[in-house]
Amino acid sequence: MNFKTLSIGIAVTCGTLTVGSTLSPAQAAWINIVGSAQFEKANSNAPASDKITFTSSTVESFKGSLFSALAVDSTVEVAPINLAAIAATPSPNDYTGTSSNPFIKFTNDPDLKFLINNPFNVTRARTTIDNFTSTSALFNFTGAFYKNGTYLSEGILTANTVNKLPGSYSLTIKTVPEPLTILGSITALGMGAALRKKQAQKHANEKVTA
């Protein structure tokens, strides 16, 4: 599933653009989610497959009107991630990750859901420090926020930590501007500079003729 893959051709004809109108609060939003994590095969060094289950998940912090119906410490449901080792790779820690959709559901806003693009790359490893061995995973992938089935914004999810210590995790999702929004902002800035230059030239000509 690929969200909002766009090929855009834009011709600027006329009119005045305002930068403020091209960037909505949802496009500058982010949310942090924390909870407990458990590896199905936590004691195995490099299993052919594994599964990460997320429990006790809550909203740690957020910013943006996209999450206005949420609250700090409100409950979140995160779907498990299935891991499959990638064959013939230099590292035994390389895995392919897949999960179900919606990947994230919010109790305080049941109509808001985060759907992901499958599959994605995961680094799974076991490390020993001071005679203490732990299992961890790192990954990031793209997805999109939907509300009542309506697309809201693309999001990039990053796993800050997924550890069995004995078990915790932290995820951050940041929304990103649409290509059209970015181009609109650049166009607005360019037009603004052109208008200022034209105005300055006009004043200069008026002084000469005077």
User: 40-58, pLDDT tens digit by residue?
Assistant: 999 999 999 999 999 999 9
Judged against a pLDDT cut of 50, whether residue 4 lies above it is answered with no
For the entire predicted model, the pTM comes to 0.73
Where does the pLDDT of residue 34 fall: very low under 50, low under 70, confident under 90, or very high at 90 and above?
Answer: very high
Characterise 184 by phi-psi region: left (phi > 0), alpha (psi -120 to 50), beta (else): alpha
**Cβ contacts of residue 106 below 8 Å, gap of 6+?**
59, 69, 70, 74, 75, 76, 77, 112, 113
Domain with 210 in it: 178-210
Same domain, 208 and 155: no
Same domain, 151 and 191: no
Same domain, 72 and 83: yes
- SS3 for 99-158, per residue? ECCCCEEECCEEEEEEEECCCEEEEEEEEEECCEEEEEEEEEEEEEEEECCEEEEEEEEE
Where does the pLDDT of residue 185 fall: very low under 50, low under 70, confident under 90, or very high at 90 and above?
Answer: very low
Condensed to tens digits (0 to 9), the pLDDT of residues 139-181 reads 999 999 999 999 999 999 999 999 987 799 999 999 987 654 4
In a domain, 13, yes or no: no
Q: What token pair was written down for 30?
A: 């982010």
Same domain, 139 and 206: no
Nearest to 81 by CA among 134, 133, 157, 153: 157
Q: What token pair was written down for 210?
A: 């005077």
In a domain, 143, yes or no: yes
One-letter identity of residue 168: S
Same domain, 62 and 143: yes
Same domain, 106 and 153: yes
- Whether residue 76 contacts residue 58, with contact meaning beta carbons closer than 8 Å, is answered with yes
In a domain, 160, yes or no: yes
Same domain, 170 and 191: no
65 compared with 199, residue with greater pLDDT: 65
Q: What is the pLDDT of residue 196?
A: 56
In a domain, 90, yes or no: yes
In the chain, the number of structural domains is 2
In a domain, 170, yes or no: yes
Condensed to tens digits (0 to 9), the pLDDT of residues 83-112 reads 999 988 888 999 999 999 999 999 999 999
Pairing of strands 94-99, 49-63: unpaired
Nearest to 38 by CA among 24, 11, 56, 63: 56
Residue 75 burial (C-beta neighbours within 10 Å; 0-12, 13-18, 19+): middle
In a domain, 4, yes or no: no
Judged against a pLDDT cut of 80, whether residue 187 lies above it is answered with no
The mean predicted confidence, pLDDT, of the chain is 80
Coil, strand, or helix at residue 176?
A: strand
In a domain, 77, yes or no: yes
Q: What is the pLDDT of residue 132?
A: 83
Coil, strand, or helix at residue 70?
A: coil
Q: What is the pLDDT of residue 28?
A: 74
In a domain, 18, yes or no: no
Output phi, psi for 101, to 5 deg: -120, 140
Same domain, 149 and 192: no
Q: Is the peptide bond before 119 cis (omega within 30 degrees of 0)?
A: yes
Question: What is the rounded distance in angstroms from the CA atom of residue 76 to the CA atom of residue 181?
Answer: 30
Same domain, 113 and 191: no
Same domain, 102 and 133: yes
Q: What is the pLDDT of residue 13?
A: 29
Same domain, 190 and 110: no
Same domain, 186 and 85: no
